[in-house]
Amino acid sequence: MSGRSWRSVASVTENGYKVKIELREHDGWLEPVLSGDPSVTIADLVYTCHEQTIDRALAKFDVPGLDRESLDSILTYCAEQQCTQDDATCGGCNRRSQHLGHQTLEDFIAAHKEIVIGDGTIKLRGSGTETLTIASLDRLEKVWSGETYWYWARRILRKLRHGVRCAGVAGKAFAGEGAAPVILLKDPQLADNIGMVARAMGNFGLDGLRLVAPRDGWPNDKARIAASGANYIIDHAQSYDTLEPAIADLNWVAATTARQRDLRKPVMTPAQAIVEMRRRIAAGERCGVLFGRESSGLENSDVAHADAVIMIPVNARFASLNLAQATLILGYEWLKDQQAATLGRVTEKERALETGLYMGHDRAATKEQMVQFFEHIEAELDRAGFFTPPEKRPKIVTSLRTMFTRLAATDHEVRTLRGIVATLARGKGKGRKA
C-alpha cells in the first residue's frame, strides 16, 4: 500500500502480538488505523469509546492485541495529536477541517457543489465538485467544523486510568420496595440524559428506574458519570426490550406528554397524579410514570398502556421539557409534603432547617438592647440638631423606633448598629473628631 507506515504504540501482549497504528492512504489523506484491522480508524475507536463505553468498544472492535493496556497508548496518540508529526488526520476530525481551510460554515458550504439537508427540501449550493447529504441542520452544524476526537480521547484516558468519576459512591435507596413510583424511560436516546434523570430521582427519593430499549445499550458509563453520585439508581436500573414486561408488575401507570392525544384517558397535573399514586401505593398497589424518547416523546401505542396522562403546566409557546426537568417536577411533587424531606442537605455539621428566618447561632435582641440603641441614636441626633423644629421630635422618634423594631434585629446586629452610630458621631482611630 503506497504511503503506508507503522507506529508501535503498545507493549507485547501475552501472545506476542504488538498493536500498531498504520497510516492508511484514503482519498488523498493519510488516516491512522489499527494495524490488526485497517478498516478501523482511530476516529472509529475513539467515537465508540466516547458514545458507548470502553468495554463495548473493545468488544465491538475485536482486534488481536487490543485491550485496555494497548488502548491507553492508542488514545494517547490521538489525545496528544501525535498525528501532526505524521501529517495524518482522521476523516471527520476538526484538524482536517482546519487543513481544508474551513474556518466558517460558509467556507464548508462553498467547498461543496451542493449540500442536501434531510429529504432535500433544503439545499445549500457552493462552488465545489462534491454533493453531500446530511440528515439535519443540527447535524450540519456539528459536521462542518469536525469532531474534536483528540479532546474525547483525553476524557476517555481519564476514565481508563482513574475509573469513572463517582464510581466509588454507592448510596442507598430512599424508600422501600414499591413505596414510591418507578420511572420508566421508553427508547431513551442519550445515556447522559438517563444519568441526569437518575440524579433528579435521587434528589427527590425516587429509586426505581426502568429502561425500555435504550439506544446505546445498558449498562453505560456515560449515564453513571451524568448521575453525579446517584449510582445506586444506575446500578439497580432494569433494562427491557419492550414496554409490556417493563410495566407487567405495576397496577397503575401515568404517561407524560406535552401533545394532546385523541385517547379517552384522565388528564392530570403532576400534583393530581401524585395524589392518585399516593392513594394507590398506600393501598398496596405499585405505580409508575412513563416518559418517551427525547426527540419525539411517546407514541399513541405507548400511551394506550397508561391509566392516565400527565401534562405539566407550561408556556404554550414552548412546551418541551427534557427528561431530567420533567422528572424533577414529578419528584418535587412526590417528596415535598413528606416528613423525610429536608430543606437542603443534612450532614454531621448541618442540621435540618425549617422555613422562616434562619438565626443560626444568633439570638433575637432583647427589648432592653433595643431601648438602649434607641436612646443612643436619638441622643446623637439631638446633639447634631436633627430634630428641627423641636415639636416634630416625638413623631420622628416614633417613626424611627417603628422602623428599627420592624427590622427584628439580632443582638449582634444591634451592637453593630450602635458601633456605626458611635463612629459616625465621634469618628474612630485617626479619624476621631476632636
Query: Residue 286: phi, psi to the nearest 5?
Result: -115, 140
Q: What is the pLDDT of residues 148-189, one digit of tens each?
A: 898 889 988 888 887 655 555 556 666 667 789 999 999 999
Q: Which of 427, 149, 188 is nearest to 324 (CA)?
A: 188
Whether the per-residue pLDDT at 1 is higher than 50: the answer is: no
Per-residue pLDDT band for 11 (boundaries 50, 70, 90) equals very low
Q: Which of 59-68, 220-229, 369-378 has the highest mean pLDDT?
A: 369-378
Residue 177, C-beta contacts closer than 8 angstroms, at least 6 positions apart: none
CB 10 within 8 A of CB 70: yes
pLDDT at 339: 62
Residue 98 lies in a domain: no
| Residue that is last in its domain, among 163, 198, 214 | 163
239 lies in the same domain as 376:
no
Taking the CA atoms of 214, 215, 219 and 225 in sequence, report the sign of the dihedral they define. Answer: negative
277 lies in the same domain as 218:
yes
* Helical residues (DSSP H) of 191-230, grouped into ranges: 191-203, 221-226
329 lies in the same domain as 286:
yes
200 lies in the same domain as 260:
yes
For the segment 93-119, the average pLDDT, to the nearest whole number, is: 86
Residue 171 lies in a domain: no
Query: What gap in Å lies between CA 372 and CA 374, rounded to an integer?
Result: 5
Residue 170 lies in a domain: no
Residue 353 lies in a domain: no
pLDDT at 259: 86
Q: Which of 14, 23, 21 is nearest to 67 (CA)?
A: 14
pLDDT at 13: 47
For the segment 268-280, the average pLDDT, to the nearest whole number, is: 94
Taking the CA atoms of 406, 407, 408 and 413 in sequence, report the sign of the dihedral they define. Answer: negative
pLDDT at 101: 83
pLDDT at 195: 94
3 lies in the same domain as 85:
yes
Q: Which of 246, 242, 180 is nearest to 210 (CA)?
A: 246
pLDDT at 12: 44
Q: Is 28 left (phi over 0), alpha (psi -120 to 50) or beta?
A: left
For the segment 355-368, the average pLDDT, to the nearest whole number, is: 82
Tell me the chain's radius of gyration from C-alpha atoms: 33
53 lies in the same domain as 154:
yes
Residue 175 lies in a domain: no
Query: What gap in Å lies between CA 121 and CA 22, rounded to an integer?
Result: 41
For strands 20-26 and 308-310, give the pairing: unpaired
**What 3-state class would DSSP assign to 310?**
strand
User: Into how many domains does the chain fold?
Assistant: 4
- pLDDT averaged over the chain? 86
Query: What gap in Å lies between CA 116 and CA 137, rounded to an integer?
Result: 10
26 lies in the same domain as 88:
yes
Q: Which of 60, 80, 64, 88 is nearest to 4 (CA)?
A: 88
158 lies in the same domain as 111:
no
Residue 41, C-beta contacts closer than 8 angstroms, at least 6 positions apart: 31, 32, 33, 34, 90, 91
393 lies in the same domain as 301:
no
DSSP conformation class of 101: T
CB 47 within 8 A of CB 59: no
134 lies in the same domain as 9:
no
CB 75 within 8 A of CB 160: yes
Query: What gap in Å lies between CA 408 and CA 426, rounded to an integer?
Result: 27
Q: Which of 290, 319, 325, 333 is nearest to 196 (CA)?
A: 325
315 lies in the same domain as 380:
no
Residue 322 lies in a domain: yes
CB 265 within 8 A of CB 160: no
| Residue that is last in its domain, among 320, 335, 350 | 335
Residue 67 lies in a domain: yes
In terms of pLDDT, which residue wins out, 348 or 125?
125
191 lies in the same domain as 265:
yes
Whether the per-residue pLDDT at 276 is higher than 90: the answer is: yes
CB 155 within 8 A of CB 50: yes
Residue 173 lies in a domain: no
Query: What gap in Å lies between CA 172 and CA 231, rounded to an integer?
Result: 9
Domain that holds residue 133: 103-144
